[in-house]
Amino acid sequence: MPLLLDTHALLWFIGGDNQLSAQARKLIEDPSNRVMVSTISLVEMTIKIKLNKLSLKKPLNEIYRDIRSAFIEVLPISPSHLIEYQNVPLYAEHRDPFDRLIIATAVVEKPEVISLDPKFQYYKDLVDIRW
């Protein structure tokens, strides 16, 4: 089954954080699943670190190494993702461009999205969300 990790799910998985649900961890660790993360999640982490909105226990280069070691596929942002981004509804309560591009990516790639973010529920008619 294809899975697309939201940024926090990726960080919690890589960091061994118990905030990641047991079900999500099991899905991510299942070798029969194709586990992906959008490049936009890596961009989001990099920007938030620079703005002091995110601190990590490891430097980014080690996080990137851990992503590769965990066999998580980094999806490039494609033109089809950007075209779909235009179709993702823009809600006053949820204007986060990183999240919205993750949703657009999921619409195109058709994975289940692993996210605890309650605002992803706005898009439940577009994508399947698991936690």
| Residue ranges, the chain, pLDDT below 50 | none
Write down the pLDDT at residue 62: 95
Which pLDDT score is estimated for 57? 87
Model pLDDT, residue 39: 97
Q: pTM here?
A: 0.95
Position 3 scores a pLDDT of 99
* Cβ burial, residue 66 (10 Å; 0-12/13-18/19+): middle
Spell out the domains of the chain, with CATH numbers in brackets. Answer: 2-123 (3.40.50.1010)
